[in-house]
Structures are given as C-alpha cells and as structure tokens.
Chains A and B, each alone.
Chain A
Amino acid sequence: MIARILAVLKARNIEFVRDRASMVWAIVVPFVLVFGLGIIFSGGDSSQFTVAVLDDAEAVAAHVHPYYATRFVEFVPVKNSAEAIKKVGRHQFDLLFEREPVARYWVNPESPTGYLAERLLLQTDPTAVREAVTGEAVRYVDWLVPGILGMNMMFACLFGVGYVVVRYRKNGFLKRLRATPLSAFEFITAQALSRLILVLAVQTFVFFGVKVFLDISMEGSYLALLVVALLGCSALIALALVIAARINSEEIAAGVLNVCTFPMMLLSGVFFSLEAAPQWLQGLANLLPLTQILAAARAIMIDGAGFAGVWPHLAALVVMTAVFLAVGAALFRWRFI
C-alpha cells in the first residue's frame, strides 16, 4: 500500500514541478498578494473607533448610557474582560468600557485613537474611572498577513486538489488507475499528501519572505504555527476531495469551488474582524475551516498563544478533516459517467 501511495505521490509531484506555469503561479501569486496588500495597508490602520463594552448587546443603547449615543464609534459587546484588556494594550480595541458597578474604562495611553475615544467618553461621563494599559500596537499588516496566507492556502488546497481530480476523471486517467490494484483511499491519500507537501513548502517560503521584508509579528511558537498550517491544509484538502468526489466537469467544479471559497473569504476574517458581527453569523463562520485556521494563526502570531491557547481550533480542524475525508471517500467515483 505504501509503495502505491508513494508512486502516485511521486508522479503527481513530478507533474507539478514540470508544469512551470502552475508552479510559478503557485509561488508568485501569494508573494504578490501578501506584499501588495501588506504595503497598501501597512500605513493605514482602521480609522473607525472600536470600543469594547462589558455589557450585553441589548444594553448598548443611548438610554442606558449616554456614551452609547456617540456616533462613529463601533461598540463591541465582550464577555472576557482579561482578553479585551489585552487587546486594548495591543491597540486592537481603542478602549474597554465597563458601565457597572461603577463606570470604568481601560485605555492604552500610547494609542492615538484610544486618546480620542477616551475624550469622547469623558464628555458624556466625567466620573468614569481610568485604568491605564500598556502594550505594543498590533499593526494592521500584522493582523492581515495571516489572513492573506490563509486565503492563499485555501485557494491552493481547494483548486489544487479539486480541479486536478476532476480533470483526471474527465480525461479517463482515473478510469485507467481503477484498472490497477490502487484503491480509492490510496489515490486520495497520495493526492492529499502531494498537495500538503507543496502548500506547506510554498507557505513556509512566503511566510519567511514576508517576515524578513515586512517584519511581521511572530510572538508564539513556530512549531504551533506549523501544526496549525498542517491541520488547516488537511481540512481544506479534505473539503476539496468532497467537492471533487463526483463532479465530471471542470466548469462545474470551478463554480462549486467558488461557492465554497467566497463565503470563507468574507466570513472567516481574512480582511476584517467579525468581532462586531451578530452572534449567529459568528457561529456560522466558526463552521468554516478557514475561520479556525486564522483564529489559531493570529492567536499564535499576534498574541503569542501556545498549543494550550489554540487547542479548540486545532480540535475543530481535526474533526472537520475526519468528517470531510469520510464523506469524500464514501462519495468518491473513479469513472466519468
């Protein structure tokens, strides 16, 4: 079994390496995306004030506290004060406000937008008690780079596996393999491993390139980040195998893959945080593998989290991989019908 998997894996890798156009595309595009977006957004932090509030969403209303009537301030209800204070320190929130038992707020004196948010609060409630928080600002580019890398990983896995399997089925190569002792499991494993090796290699290359040139934040363990990338790729490849299990046409495959990638691009927090989004939308986003990948990667890269801090995300990715693989293997069809 191992020999057959290795044979298909080797052939697929040779095919990829010799297909110069695909290889250049796979390596150059992520670089261009990360550098391009990184440079575009490196100087422009979000201009809207974001204030975390230790209150229920329903309580964030003008009649409850006059501060809540302030225009152009986004109030984000939070439950975990320790986590929110940490984000204030890193400039991810401009200010944290607690209404009861006494009006209190946390602000980073080094944050310009924190200063303005504080002035607005004191205009409406001069009695509010100040708590100073220290910490280094998280640049938008530090927050954005994991999103771009994750998005690129998503495209590379979904299209790289989904499209190729559909092409093999359409041109009859799968049918030829079906006539050998190669099992569906062995074929799928070889395809998945080939793409996993390739995507991890490209992502590592791009990550270190970006790290050197944009000096992005990396507070946590590289090993933990590698595990996130490994499990994230596995979940995305497994999802691709579900999509490619029966489709015969490259056009339909492209449509279905787009239907899968767009929600992840919009809902998984690639370009902007969903912290202020409704709970139901956040719940929906949590079902997407990219959401789990980005949450774990940002926790490691920005907040310095270790395995203990990201294990729920890792567990979610393992479960998603297992479910997608089981469904993909059950639905898989060799031949063009």
Chain B
Amino acid sequence: MAAAAAIIEARNLVMRYPSVVAVDDVSLAIAQGECFGLLGPNGAGKTTTIEILEGILVPTSGTTLFRGQALGKEFHAEAGIQFQSTALQDFLTVRETIELFRQLYNRLPSIDSVVAECALGELLDRDARKISGGQRQRLLLAIALINDPTVIFLDEPTTGLDPQSRRNFWDLVDTIKKRNKTIIMTTHYMEEAYVLCDRIAIMDHGKIIAEGAPDQLLKHHYEDVILQLPQADFPPALADLEHKVLANQQLVEIATTDVNATILRLTEQRVPLNHLRIRPRNLEDLFLELTGRELRT
C-alpha cells in the first residue's frame, strides 16, 4: 500500500525490553476506511504494536504517523480505543460511564447515537460492574466511539465472549466499517479476522511474517483444498496420499490440488464417501503453518 494513502503509518518500530525484543522492526501503512487485523500467537507482539500505534507506548525506536504527522493532540481527539482489558470507574451506571467519557472529549452533543449503535438503551441505568461480558464489550466499544473517531483500535475485542455475543459484536463492527471508519484490531480468532478484516498481518516473535488481504494470502500460500474423512474409513492402501491424522477428532485430512483425481482414488479403494467433507484452506491453516503448532504461553 502506498504510504501517501495511509492514515496511520508505522516506520521501523522497535520495542526492546531488558529480556526481550517485543517488536522488531515493524512497518505498516493503513488506509482510511480500511479494517486492518493484527494476528499472532500469545507473546507475538500484537498488543505492544497496537499500543505503540495508539500512542500509549513510546517505542525504543521508529515512528508512528497519523495523516503524515507525529501522534499529537489531533490524533488523540480522533482516535477511539478499546483496550484488551480495562477497568472502569466503580459504582457508575452505564449512562454515567458513557457520559464521563463524552465530557472528556465534548464532541458529541449527547450519548444517544452511540447508545443506539451499541444497543445499550436497556442497560443505561444498570451498574456498569454488573453487566454481562458481551454487554461490557458493547459498553467499551461505545466509549471508544464517544468522540466519533476517525480511527478505532480494538485489542482482542471478543475474547471470552460466547458465539452469539461475538457475532453480535461483528455486526457492530461491520456497521462502523460502513461509515468509512478506519479500524485496527488484534484477534486470536481467525474466523473473526476473515469476516471483518480487509487486510491482515500475521506477527510472530515481534516481526510481521505475512501481510495482505485474507483471500490473497490464502491464494498465495495454497493451491490445494482439504478433504476430510473419518479416520476409520481411511484405508492403509492410500498412505501414499499427502494426509494428516487429527487423532482427537478421529479425522484424516487429505490435501489435494485435484479433487476429482483424489475422489477417484478413494472410490477405487471403495472408501465410503457418506461422511466426506471438502473445505477450502482457511486462515487457521495459514496461521498454524506460519507460526507453528507449539504451545505459546
């Protein structure tokens, strides 16, 4: 992406702590109206990177620009931020919490529009400490939107939410995207990144190891698709096919660039196809391939 079109640009960011380099020469350019996702395993440097972009952390070296200028008052007035974990002032209602943040910016005449957008109307008089996880994330999003921001940062916004709350949150983000807002988010959920993000960057060990539109990245890395069969139906005679056993799911995954030929071989071996599933490669495949399968802490 051309730097001239970028609303947020990071150049050669480095964040060095005594025992680790959390961000190692990261450069990014994010265009106005784009939804950009930062993906990576735990400890990859996503949160540190997004907090540098937010102006919360000062990097060891490198620069972050907003509309070509160093981050300053204008940026803070135009940025909306939802941190990974945030405590709010105790004993305030949802309405009082949103009002507090509105008065810190004083850009919107009332809280009505964000309350409607984030579906908080019925919660306004509830104690903000006593709402559910999904409701709390909607409240935090409302606070992030209270200054009608140009750029919105969402750091793992749906972690810990149930599937309904997560999908509800995606709808909210989708609505915001349609208003030509720029969104920069981190997430552990590949499906979320695929659904919401126009472009993603996969980070590991503080570096960006892949960057692009989700479909483009998949196309670039994969030409094959995956055939899934019950492990019990997979005959030893087909061991020469490139395959992977998912023991815990009792499935065998066969990667193939020629589905017809592979199915022909399966039928020749009289493999029952009643439970055969064909799926395209997804971001999770790419993520695991690029970052490895070992457990991160």
Contact = CB atoms under 8 A, between A and B. Distances in A.
Interface string B61-103: 0000000000001001101010101111111100010011101
A181 B76 contact: yes
7 contacts: A7-B99, A7-B103, A11-B89, A11-B100, A12-B89, A14-B92, A180-B76
B139 to A, nearest CB: 12
A11 B56 contact: no
Contact of B83 (A8, A15, A19, A176): A176
A36 interface: no
Interface residues of A, number: 25
B268 to A, nearest CB: 61
B54 interface: yes
B189 interface: no
Contact of A14 (B76, B77, B83, B96): B96
B229 to A, nearest CB: 48
Contact of B96 (A3, A11, A335): A11
A12 to B, nearest CB: 8
A179 B89 contact: no
A8 B101 CA distance: 9
A182 interface: yes
A178 B58 CA distance: 13
Given A14-B92, A18-B91, A19-B91, A181 B77 contact: yes
Interface string A1-40: 0011011101110110011000000000000000000000
Contacts of B90: 15, 19
A179 B76 contact: yes
The interface residues of chain A, by DSSP majority, are classed as: helix
A172 interface: yes
Interface string A320-336: 00000000000000010
A204 interface: no
Interface string A160-171: 000000001001
A14 B91 contact: yes
Given A172-B86, A179-B81, 16 more contacts: A3-B103, A6-B103, A7-B104, A11-B89, A15-B90, A19-B90, A173-B87, A176-B86, A178-B56, A179-B55, A180-B104, A180-B147, A181-B73, A181-B105, A182-B104, A335-B56
B160 to A, nearest CB: 16
Contact of B87 (A7, A14, A172, A179): A172
Interface string B39-59: 000000000000000111000
Interface of A: 3-4, 6-8, 10-12, 14-15, 18-19, 168, 171-173, 175-182, 335
B50 to A, nearest CB: 12
Interface of B: 54-56, 73, 76-77, 79, 81, 83, 85-92, 96, 99-101, 103-106, 143, 147
Nearest to B77: A181
A11 B92 contact: yes
A323 B77 CA distance: 32
B91 A171 contact: no
B73 A173 contact: no
B87 A171 contact: yes
B104 A173 contact: no
Nearest to A177: B104
Nearest to A170: B87
Contacts of A19: 90-91
A175 B86 contact: yes
Contacts of A14: 91-92, 96
A171 B106 CA distance: 25
Contacts of B100: 7-8, 10-11
Contacts of A178: 56
Nearest to B104: A180
B56 A179 contact: yes
Contact of A181 (B81, B92, B104): B104
A182 B106 CA distance: 11
B137 to A, nearest CB: 14
Contact of A173 (B56, B76, B88, B99): B88
B91 A4 contact: no
A179 B79 contact: yes
A4 B81 CA distance: 18
B56 A15 contact: no
A197 B104 CA distance: 21
B287 to A, nearest CB: 28
A181 B78 CA distance: 10
Contacts of A182: 104
Contacts of A18: 91
A171 B89 CA distance: 10
A123 B79 CA distance: 85
The 3 closest A-B pairs by CB, nearest first: A7-B103, A171-B87, A18-B91
Nearest to A4: B104
Most buried by A among B76, B85, B90: B90
B94 to A, nearest CB: 13
A15 B91 contact: yes
A14 B88 CA distance: 13
Contacts of B96: 11, 14
A8 to B, nearest CB: 7
Most buried by A among B56, B73, B103: B103
A6 B102 CA distance: 12
